[in-house]
């Protein structure tokens, strides 16, 4: 008899502990949601996701102790706080035909070339070009982005890998135009034991004109090898055009001093909230153009 009672007591204790833990988790979730509750202005809209995975677009118009009143295009909804999983407040311009268009997670670059847009303070990303050239960038402030990377060629010693730095400084910014300056500094492999490989790179200025869904980027830079600078600048012209919620067209094109024909590229960018993938083709604009071009791929993950 004593053993049976002991089992009941143990069962009740376990159930009580589980219930208390669940209650604590629910309370924590509810407290987190409460910090997101606000009535937005006319330029913003809210997206509420509930635990049953329903998604509602609208605006909170009233906040009570345990529920909100949410105004949608179909009418008013009373949503208990306990059912809300997430609240996002976004610019109303990001809603296209009833869908939320995610921000471009790779807006600071075209393919490899930079745009004039910068990372926000504390934002960053990891990048991989052709799967073997790895990079990272971080927003030190809203106007200073620092980046760098290294090649990871299999079977190659560390001193024979490529190292690079990509600092960028924001100069000016308006709603429709950004201006920045920066550099690409690259350390080539030391293939010759008797001679150290030079530093090569480019110092540049770049301008991006347009909005988040369509923009044009123009850049001008001077290349260098150690302390020797090129006599003529290189030019870059590129742009992006949003095609759908998760797809954009991207082009990046170069005119280089001493090279008769421009380098051109064209491709698409697939992206989600944190990840983007670029698939493109590079070519030389000449009578001997190789169609469709040399393939290019990169991956960018935001953190």
What percent of the residues of the chain are helix, what percent strand, and what percent coil, each to the nearest 5? Answer: 15, 50, 35
C-alpha 13/C-alpha 298 separation (Å) is 54
For the chain, the farthest-separated pair of C-alpha atoms sits apart, in whole angstroms, at 98
β-bridge pairing 228-229 and 214-225: antiparallel
**pLDDT(299) > 90:** yes
- For the chain, the structural domain boundaries read 2-100, 124-302
DSSP state of 109: B
**pLDDT(9) > 70:** no
Q: What angle do CA 279, 282, 111 make, to 5 degrees?
A: 50
So what's the pLDDT on residue 267?
Answer: 98
β-bridge pairing 294-302 and 275-284: antiparallel
CATH 3.40.30.10 for the 2-100 domain, yes or no = no
Could you read off the pLDDT of 106-120 as tens digits, one per residue?
Answer: 999 999 999 999 999
Quote the pTM value: 0.77
Could you give the percent of the chain with pLDDT greater than 90?
A: 69
Q: Which CATH class is domain 124-302?
A: mainly beta
So what's the pLDDT on residue 192?
Answer: 67
Could you read off the pLDDT of 37-79 as tens digits, one per residue?
Answer: 889 998 999 999 999 988 899 999 999 988 999 999 889 999 9
Spell out the SS3 assignment of 33-90: HHHHCCCCCCCEEEEEEECCCCEEEEEEEEECCCEEEEEECCEEEEEEHHHEEEEEEE
Could you read off the pLDDT of 163-204 as tens digits, one per residue?
Answer: 999 999 999 999 899 999 999 999 988 766 667 888 999 999
**pLDDT(99) > 90:** no
């Amino acid at each position: 008899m004593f053993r049976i009672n002991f089992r009941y007591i143990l069962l009740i204790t376990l159930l009580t502990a589980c219930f208390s833990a669940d209650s604590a988790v629910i309370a924590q979730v509810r407290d987190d949601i409460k910090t997101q509750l606000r009535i937005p202005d006319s330029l913003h809209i809210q997206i509420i996701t509930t635990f049953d995975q329903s998604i509602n677009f609208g605006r909170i118009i009233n906040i009570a102790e345990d529920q909100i009143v949410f105004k949608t295009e179909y009418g008013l909804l009373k949503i208990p706080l306990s059912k809300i999983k997430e609240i996002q407040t976004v610019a109303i311009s990001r809603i296209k035909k009833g869908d939320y268009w995610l921000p471009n997670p790779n807006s600071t670059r075209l393919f490899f070339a930079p745009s004039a847009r910068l990372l926000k303070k504390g934002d960053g990303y990891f990048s991989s070009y052709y799967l073997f050239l790895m990079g990272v960038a971080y927003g030190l402030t809203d106007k200073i982005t620092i980046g760098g990377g290294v090649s990871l060629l299999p079977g190659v010693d560390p001193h024979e890998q490529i190292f690079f730095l990509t600092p960028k400084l924001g100069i000016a910014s308006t709603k429709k135009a950004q201006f920045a300056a920066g550099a690409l500094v690259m350390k080539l492999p030391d293939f010759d034991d008797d001679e150290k490989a030079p530093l090569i790179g480019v110092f540049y200025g770049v301008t991006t004109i347009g909005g988040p869904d369509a923009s044009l980027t123009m850049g001008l830079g001077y290349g260098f090898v150690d302390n020797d600078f090129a006599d003529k600048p290189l030019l870059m012209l590129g742009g992006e055009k949003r095609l759908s919620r998760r797809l954009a067209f991207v082009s990046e094109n170069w005119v280089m001093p001493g090279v008769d024909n421009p380098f051109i590229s064209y491709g698409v960018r697939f992206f989600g909230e944190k990840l983007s993938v670029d698939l493109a083709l590079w070519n030389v604009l000449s009578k001997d153009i190789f169609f469709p071009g040399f393939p290019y791929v990169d991956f960018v993950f935001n953190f």
